[in-house]
Amino acid sequence: MTTTELPVLFLNDLVVLPGMVVPIELDDSSRAAIDTARASSDGHLLVAPRLDDRYASYGVVATIVQTGRLQTGEAAAVIRAERRAKIGSGVSGPGAALWVEAEDLPAEDTDTEEIRTLAADYRSLVVATLQRRDAWQVIDTVNRVTDPSALADLAGYASYLSDEQKRQLLETPAVAERLTVLIDWTKDHLAEVEVNDKIADDVREGMEKSQREFLLRQQLNAIRKELGEDEPDGAEDYRSRVEAADLPEAVRTAALREVGKLERSSDQSPEAGWIRTWLDTVLELPWNVITTDSEDLAGARQVLDDDHHGLEDVKERIVEYLAVRARRAKRGLSVVGGRGSGAVLALAGPPGVGKTSLGESIARALGRKFVRVALGGVRDEAEIRGHRRTYVGALPGRLVRAISEAGSFNPVVLLDEIDKVGSDYRGDPSAALLEVLDPAQNHTFRDHYLDFDLDLSDVIFLATANVIENIPQPLLDRMELITLDGYTADDKIAIARDFLLPKQRELAGLTDDEVDLTDEALREIAADYTREPGVRQLERLLAKALRKATTKLADAEGSANEGDPEKLIIDLGDLKDFLGRPRFTPESHERTSVPGVATGLAVTGLGGDVLYIEASAVEGKAGLTLTGQLGDVMKESAQIALSYVRAHAAELGIDDPTVLDRQIHIHVPAGAVPKDGPSAGVTMVTAITSMATGRPVRSDVGMTGEVTLNGRVLPIGGVKQKLLAAQRAGLTTVFLPQRNEPDLDEVPAEVLETVDVRPMADVATLVAAALTPIAEAQARAA
């Protein structure tokens, strides 16, 4: 092996292979290497790439062809690489350049069958690459190279190889190995070039087609303008749009039939405008756009939990729906479309419990589009089914418009305030909803405007309502009813802490490092500043408190000389400064301190509430006077209560039954609020008995239940809402009908822990437990 001492030239951004002739810009170090080579080694030097992590182990022995200057005036040299050499140890030499030992590599036998085959394969790949560039002169040069090693080293000129790849070739003396890796790299490059060329051809063809169509359309518009027929959207355009659209077969047939009418009609005909509007509506509907439901049950449940606290019934129903669809899909069963494949849920409950916001949360959990349809105050049946096209200004119904707005044919549609739908001479919208909300019928829903069947069976319909009684029974029967009865005190604190407070902090421009409320303060706000089943008023009061906190912080920052003000903590004692006096205080003890007043429980459109029923006897003809805007059913309950007390005076402990022969007056505050229903029957019996015996009703007792003439306590509705109202009012004992015991399973455990619920079957037993003991009543009277 021959060793030669040569000056070395390291190149930063260039890898030189044997056989290459390259120009090099000269800096101080490279100029020193060139000058030393010309002066001390007959113009020979070793050229090697400069590596970041180590010195190069191989380089090329090169000769200096020419030196001079570039057009920019920079010094440059042209070198010709001759042979590959291995870099040895450094040696001392003349001049300012670095000298190393260059070991010539032993000659390799390249005349073997393997190397000839590899060289032929590589040559054909290089020629194919050059043919794509039309580099015919270069192809002739490649074809004239017969040495396989020299052919492989021509890759130094390849622009598609990186410097790292070229360095690998330089450090691979074996010809067969170099040809093998070059064949792989060139094949990859050719594949990439073919893909890029195909994409470029497709883009070019598309541009040429678009330009051709643009020119033709411009010419067509110019011809129409000259003929006085300047109509941009002609029948031909609609026909092409219908044929290109992905429409169901029945819809396509109907659309083409309308296009035929448009082609035969005059441009001045009013019918042409109606047909165009109809066709635009049909083409805008997302006929075959179906979003894929999420199959991640845990993820869907997490989304629902992140957006809403509690509401377990709704969350479980949605997760069940997802689980069924996922299992059907797993077993290859149809999950889209068809009779009864969707879901129709009715969310009923008082305001502020999260019914409307649940719709968007459910859509996000399912991975579906969401659209809201407000039904409050809708009185026209055509709002649901659409208008006939014969009417001027006809439009499709709200459901068709909602699907078009959603952009898919299986969205979550929220029918908001369905109990507020009215009816008049224009029709009954609730009757039109019967088909929409029937899972067994809505796969063939027919909108009057479109006039063909639509499959709504895969749509999830959510209807919200405050008062179930206002929903027609046939419509309610078609929906799966889920009641949201309100939140407990602990629920409200959790919602305020996790949802409302962060939201209002952000709206006020605050952070949790600046303002916070204690749990005691939140409990006080929920208990004595608001008495609502939901959290809407609670959120308003939090916003009010944070606005005042922002003002206080701004004043503190303005008066502080240095540093930031301390974190503001709003505690129980600070609420008066931030929110004023409490709006609600416990009044059951005060109201029932005199005989003749009993505490009942009722359900209104705003949730559960406490109802005080007052009874008194005045001199006059025997009779019954009722005040307080009572409905017919409640008036009858008062008559039944008085008749029962008169018939069972001795059993109820009334020593002087003649008091019942006076004029009995029953009043139910508040007088401005209409009231009706039979559930106040036991409360009226208790109030009349309390008045007749002179024994006050216990202040910690509430009651509800319908009463019969023989004293039986019949079941009522709204148990959960009534118990939540009792807890808010501070009642500790509640009498319920015994047949309502199964309803206690839906009541939160924390309510049952604070309220002693006593099921009753006989009203006499209830009255005896509700009145204060005789000794205590006599002590009060004394």
Q: Which residues are catalytic?
A: 679, 722
To the question of whether residue 2 is assigned a binding role by annotation, the answer is: no
Distance, CA of 358 to CA of 372 (rounded, Å): 11
Distance, CA of 347 to CA of 350 (rounded, Å): 10
Instruction: Give the number of other Cβ atoms within 10 Å of residue 440's Cβ.
Output: 10
Tell the residue number behind the tokens 């190995």, with chain if given. 177
To the question of whether residue 355 is assigned a binding role by annotation, the answer is: yes
Pairing outcome for strands 607-618 and 597-604: antiparallel
515 SS3 class: strand
Residue 670 preceded by cis peptide, ω within 30 = yes
Burial 690-699 (b: 16+ CB within 10 A, else e): bbbbbbbbbb
- Residue 5: strand pairing partners: 101
Residue 706, classified by CB atoms within 10 Å of its CB into exposed (0-12), middle (13-18) or buried (19+), is buried
Distance, CA of 155 to CA of 161 (rounded, Å): 8
Query: Please, what sign has the CA dihedral across residues 230, 283, 388, 401?
Result: negative
To the question of whether residue 608 is assigned a binding role by annotation, the answer is: no
17 SS3 class: coil
Tell the residue number behind the tokens 């609502």, with chain if given. 532
Distance, CA of 70 to CA of 82 (rounded, Å): 24
723 SS3 class: helix
Residue 675, by phi and psi: left (phi above 0), alpha (psi -120 to 50) or beta?
Answer: beta
To the question of whether residue 705 is assigned a binding role by annotation, the answer is: no
> What's 155-218 look like in SS3?
HHHCCCCCHHHHHHHHCCCCHHHHHHHHHHHHHHHHHHHHHHHHHHHHHHHHHHHHHHHHHHHH
To the question of whether residue 717 is assigned a binding role by annotation, the answer is: no
Q: Which helix (H) or strand (E) holds 729?
A: helix 719-729
Q: Which helix (H) or strand (E) holds 69?
A: strand 58-69
> What's 616-655 look like in SS3?
EEECCCCEEEEECCECHHHHHHHHHHHHHHHHCCCCCCCC
- Residue 481: strand pairing partners: 346
To the question of whether residue 393 is assigned a binding role by annotation, the answer is: no
Distance, CA of 475 to CA of 441 (rounded, Å): 13
Q: Which helix (H) or strand (E) holds 756?
A: strand 756-760
To the question of whether residue 748 is assigned a binding role by annotation, the answer is: no
To the question of whether residue 127 is assigned a binding role by annotation, the answer is: no
Annotated binding residues: 349-356
Annotated binding residues for ATP: 349-356
